[in-house]
Amino acid sequence: MSETDKQLADRVLQTLATARYLHAVAAAVQIEPLRDQVGSGGSVERERAEAWLAICSLHDALRTASRGTDLDSRWNKATQKTTAWSESIK
């Protein structure tokens, strides 16, 4: 059985919540597959696209964390945008 958009959004939120407490490199490894999973699919509505962009931005920041990137704001944005996407799914 394939995963529904709602299940995917909920799983992404869980991954974001747990990966936040990992070292940047380990968190980037956890988040990397989310980019492809959220960025593809049959229905890519605005909320999903915004979540994808926020996840991509977070992933890029984690890969370059040593350069003084503000990770907290990117974690928050990725979580907020993914929550908005999850809540928009009926």
pLDDT tens across 47-59, in order?
999 999 999 999 9
Per-residue model confidence as pLDDT tens digits over 19-37 = 999 999 999 999 999 998 9
Please state the separation of Cα 8 from the chain's center in Å.
11
Quote the pTM value.
Answer: 0.86
Q: Which of the four pLDDT bands, split at 50, 70 and 90, describes residue 67?
A: low
Q: What is the predicted pLDDT for the residue at 66?
A: 58
